[in-house]
Structures are given as C-alpha cells and as structure tokens.
C-alpha cells in the first residue's frame, strides 16, 4: 500500500516535470518545423478516413435511434437540430478524441517506446540533438492542432450521416435539413465544445509521448507503453470532458 502510494506520487512528480519541460522546450529555439508538419500530416491527414467513417456512423445511428422517441411526441421535426446539437456539443468531440487516443496516442507510445528500448533516443542525445524537442514537442503540438480539426470534420460528416438517417424513413431535402440544423445551433454551442478539443489533443499527445519516453528497457515495455497510453489518454478525455461540461454549465 505504502509502496504503491509512493510509486503514484513519483509518477505524478515525473509527469509534472515532463509537462513543465514541454513548455520550457516549446519556446526555446531551434524549432523543428519540418518534423511538426510531418507529424500533422501523419496524425491529421492519415486519420481522416477513420474519423469520416465513425463520424458518419455516429450521425446515422443517433438519428435512427432517436427517431422513435421523438415520433412518439410528434416532434420528428426536431430531429435535425437535436442530432446536430448532440454531435457538436458532445458525441463527435468525445468519440473522435477516443479514436485518436486509440490510433495516435498508442502509436506515439509504441514508436517512442521502441526508440527508447533500441537506444535511438540515446543516439540522438549523444549526437548533440535534443530528442525531447524533436520527438515530444512536435508530436504534442501536432495532436493539439489536429484533434480539433478532426473533430470539426467529424461534426460535418456526422451531420451528413444524420441526413442519411432521416431519409431512410422520410423524405427531407438537403436544404431543409441544413436550414433546420443551422437554425438550432448557436455559437455558444460550438465554441466551448471546440475549446475542449484542444485540451483533448494536448493530452492525447502528451500522454503518448510520456509513456513512450519513459518506457523501461526490454521489448515488453513497448507494448506496455502503447497500452498504457490508450488507457490513460481515454480516461483523461472523460475527465477533461466532465470538467469542460461543468465549466460550460457554470459560465454559459
């Protein structure tokens, strides 16, 4: 009990130092712009098909599942607005962030973990290159920027999925559907939901990097780093979401 408590505090201390180092290295030149752009391409562009498919399914399923209940109250016309609101405020950010935790965070954890185990990070360090700046800062910045863009993309595709879902049983034109969607949305629905996705992205990248960068020696630790990155990042997403919802409720 005492040992696990001690390990918990040590881990928390190490994680705090890791975050502090991120902000310290972030402002110090040289800047690894080329690697940052490469990471944006890998994390953003290459995740588009996965996010598009899940976004479309989210919108479609949500519409199909909500329809009978709304029909019972004769409120089917509320369906486009309700689907759009649910997607933008909650479902698309959380589901997309969870997908990114599974795809990106585990990928970073495994990549950096294997680099650590095979001494590639040490090789960078002994050749006078700052591996933290090259590997961690670029990846965390890329996830912080790309996850919000992926969420916006998932919002759009999800709303399209909703349009497909409505037209399974009905006949609604695209113009009418989108005018209902837009009339039910306000900026205050979009802004807090988008702000929290920057935090999702930041922690997805940071947790993946931390788990990989601090992997122990041995190939077993690579798997552990990847697994632990997904679990911790997913948990972090729910905690950040809970805090964001509370804050939004308080201020908006």
Nearer to another protein (CB atom), residue 31 or residue 198:
31
What DSSP assignment string belongs to 130-165? -HIIIIIIHHHHHHHHHHHHHHHHHHHHHHHHHHHH
* Minimum distance from residue 102 beta carbon to another protein (Å): 21
Residue 2 found at the interface with another protein (CB under 8 A): no
Near another protein by CB under 8 A: residue from 72, 128, 175, 187: 128
Report d(CA 114, CA 23) in Å as an integer. 25
Report d(CA 211, CA 226) in Å as an integer. 7
Backbone angles phi, psi at 221, to 5 degrees: -70, -20
Nearer to another protein (CB atom), residue 42 or residue 48:
42
Nearer to another protein (CB atom), residue 15 or residue 129:
129
Near another protein by CB under 8 A: residue from 12, 13, 119, 246: 119
Nearer to another protein (CB atom), residue 21 or residue 224:
21
* Number of chain positions touching another protein (CB under 8 A): 15
Task: List the one residue out of 97, 90, 88, 204 whose CA is nearest residue 157.
Answer: 88
Report d(CA 85, CA 185) in Å as an integer. 7
Nearer to another protein (CB atom), residue 130 or residue 167:
130
CA 1, chain centre distance (Å): 33
Residue 126 found at the interface with another protein (CB under 8 A): yes
Q: Are 230 and 102 in contact (CB under 8 A)?
A: yes
Residue 130 found at the interface with another protein (CB under 8 A): yes
* Minimum distance from residue 79 beta carbon to another protein (Å): 47
SS3 readout for 157-211:
HHHHHHHHHHHHHCCCCHHHHHHHHHHHCCHHHHHHHHHHHHHHHHHHHHHHHHH
Residue 220 found at the interface with another protein (CB under 8 A): no
Residue 37 found at the interface with another protein (CB under 8 A): no
Near another protein by CB under 8 A: residue from 37, 53, 71, 123: 123
* Minimum distance from residue 21 beta carbon to another protein (Å): 11
DSSP 8-state symbol, 1: -
Residues with Cβ < 8 Å from 110, sequence gap 6 or more?
Answer: 212, 222, 223, 225, 226, 229
Q: Which of residues 53-92 bind another protein (CB under 8 A)?
A: none
Residues with Cβ < 8 Å from 40, sequence gap 6 or more?
Answer: 142, 145, 146
Near another protein by CB under 8 A: residue from 14, 68, 122, 195: 122
Q: Which x/- pattern, by CB under 8 A, does the window 99-118 give for another protein?
A: ------------x--xx--x
* Minimum distance from residue 99 beta carbon to another protein (Å): 23
Task: Give the binding site for another protein (CB under 8 A).
Answer: 30, 111, 114-115, 118-120, 122-123, 125-130
């Amino acid at each position: 009990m005492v040992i696990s408590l001690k390990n918990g505090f040590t881990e928390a201390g190490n994680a705090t130092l890791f975050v502090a180092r991120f902000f310290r290295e972030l402002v110090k030149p040289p800047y690894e712009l080329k690697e940052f752009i490469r990471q944006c391409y890998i994390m953003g562009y290459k995740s588009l098909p996965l996010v598009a498919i899940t976004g479309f399914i989210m919108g479609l399923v949500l519409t199909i599942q909500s329809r009978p209940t709304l029909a019972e109250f004769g409120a089917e016309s509320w369906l486009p607005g309700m689907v759009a609101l649910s997607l933008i405020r909650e479902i698309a950010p959380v589901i997309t962030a969870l997908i990114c935790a599974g795809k990106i965070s585990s990928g970073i954890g495994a990549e950096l973990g294997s680099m650590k185990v095979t001494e590639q990070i040490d090789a960078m360090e002994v050749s006078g290159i700052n591996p933290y700046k090259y590997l961690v800062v670029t990846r965390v910045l890329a996830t912080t920027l790309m996850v919000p863009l992926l969420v916006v993309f998932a919002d759009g595709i999800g709303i399209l999925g909703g349009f497909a879902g409505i037209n399974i049983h009905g006949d609604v034109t695209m113009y009418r559907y989108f005018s209902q969607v837009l009339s039910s949305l306000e900026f205050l629905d979009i802004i807090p939901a988008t702000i929290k996705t920057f935090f999702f992205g930041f922690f997805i990248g940071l947790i993946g990097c931390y788990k990989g960068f601090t992997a122990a020696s041995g190939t077993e630790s690579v798997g552990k780093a990847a697994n632990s990155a997904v679990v911790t990042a997913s948990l972090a997403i729910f905690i950040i979401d809970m805090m964001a919802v509370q804050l939004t409720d308080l201020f908006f």
